[in-house]
Structures are given as structure tokens and as C-alpha cells.
Homo-oligomer: A and B are copies of this chain.
Amino acid sequence: MSVKEISGQVSGRVDPRVVRTRELIVRAFNELVAEKGHTGLTVSEIAGRATINRATFYAHFADQYELFDYVVSEAFREELRRRLPASSGLGEEELRAMVLAACDYLSGLNTACSRTDRQFKPLIEARVQAELYELLLRWIWASPVNARSADAEITATVVSWAIFGAGLRWSQGGEPGSLEEYADRALSAIVGGLGS
């Protein structure tokens, strides 16, 4: 029935209409948020701006908040892609890129988010951590040394929250020195942990 069940199939094939409709919805959402913020934004407005039917919106997203999560995740994934061009392995360089991405993205939030939309910040932050978790977990599974480790989920959880916390702290300001220096110190704390 729903579009999402079809697109969730293992097959990589995606109907071009689904891609186009999703892009239309995301673009309309970004435009409207830039114009008047999240507060008071309705599904009808989004559907109208996207030139799609309101019922079609619900075929792609359960509600406005699911769209919100999707947009934020996509934006942060794009941030990560820019910093990790073609790296498939898990190393210090990758972890450093993730720290930098979290710092920059969460910093940008403080300036971009208007006062009235402050209530949405926790939702965004949760998505950032979730994306870090997913990326770490995929890396750990793909890694030959750590493969099949039963503690993969725990490791991914701990490290993702650690990176997220470092980024959030930087975004709140007050840290001396440059971002690169801060990232290095945070990274050594993440890698070394309490054992260092």
C-alpha cells in the first residue's frame, strides 16, 4: 500500500517518481522553514509548496516530525560525506572527521535556529547522535578485526555519544584554542578513554 514498504525492499531499484516526490517535499520543507520557521508549519502548506497531494505526503512520511528527522539526518550525512570522501575504514582520521563534523554542525545550529524554534534542537541533536551511531556500527561490522564482535553495538553507542558530547560542548562555546586543537584533545580522550 504505502510507498515506504516498497522502497524498503532489498532491491536497489527505486521508482523515479518516489525520488522526485521526496525531493519535492524536502525542498518545500526547507524553503518554508527558511521563510517562517517550524512553528505553525502545516502538512497542507508543505504539500502545496511541493505541488503534491496531502495524501501523498502521508505515503512518504508518517507525520511532519518524521520528515523533520529525515531532513536533519540527510543534512548531517551530507556534512559527513564532504569530510569523508572515499574512506571505508575506521581509523583515527575518520574519527577526527566525525568530531569536526559534529562540532561544525551543532555550532551552525545555534546560529541558524531562531528563538521560537529552540524547542526543536533536542530532536536535531538526537538525529546527529543516531547518524554517528549508524556510521560507526557499519564500520565496525565491515572491519575484519572487530567483525562478529558481540559488543559492536555497545562500542558504537559509547563512541557515538562521546563524539556527540564533544561536539555539543564545542557548540556551546567557551572552549579556548582552535577547533582543530579541541578536536585533537577530544579525540585522544575518546580513543584513550579512562585508561589514558
Instruction: Name A's B-contacting residues (CB within 8 A).
Output: 16, 19-20, 51-53
Closest to A52 in B: B16
- Of the residues B16, B20, B53, contact of A16 by C-beta under 8 Å: B53
Given the complex, which residues of B lie within 8 Å of A53, measured CB to CB? 16
Min distance, Cβ A186 to any Cβ of chain B, angstroms: 42
Given the complex, which residues of B lie within 8 Å of A51, measured CB to CB? 16, 19-20
Enumerate the 5 nearest inter-chain pairs by beta-carbon distance, A residue then B residue, closest first: A20-B51, A16-B51, A16-B53, A16-B52, A19-B51
**CB<8 Å pairs between A and B, sample of 5:** A16-B51, A16-B52, A16-B53, A19-B51, A20-B51
Closest to A24 in B: B20
Closest to A16 in B: B51
Given the complex, which residues of B lie within 8 Å of A16, measured CB to CB? 51-53
- CA–CA, A51 to B53, complex, Å? 19
Min distance, Cβ A100 to any Cβ of chain B, angstroms: 34
Min distance, Cβ A19 to any Cβ of chain B, angstroms: 8
Closest to A23 in B: B51
Given the complex, which residues of B lie within 8 Å of A20, measured CB to CB? 51
- CA–CA, A16 to B20, complex, Å? 14
- CA–CA, A20 to B24, complex, Å? 11
Query: Among the interface residues A19, A51, A53, which one has the most CB atoms of the partner chain B within 10 A?
Result: A51
Min distance, Cβ A43 to any Cβ of chain B, angstroms: 16
- CA–CA, A51 to B52, complex, Å? 16
- CA–CA, A16 to B52, complex, Å? 7
- CA–CA, A20 to B53, complex, Å? 12
Min distance, Cβ A48 to any Cβ of chain B, angstroms: 10
- CA–CA, A21 to B19, complex, Å? 14
- CA–CA, A51 to B22, complex, Å? 13
Min distance, Cβ A157 to any Cβ of chain B, angstroms: 39
- CA–CA, A100 to B174, complex, Å? 65
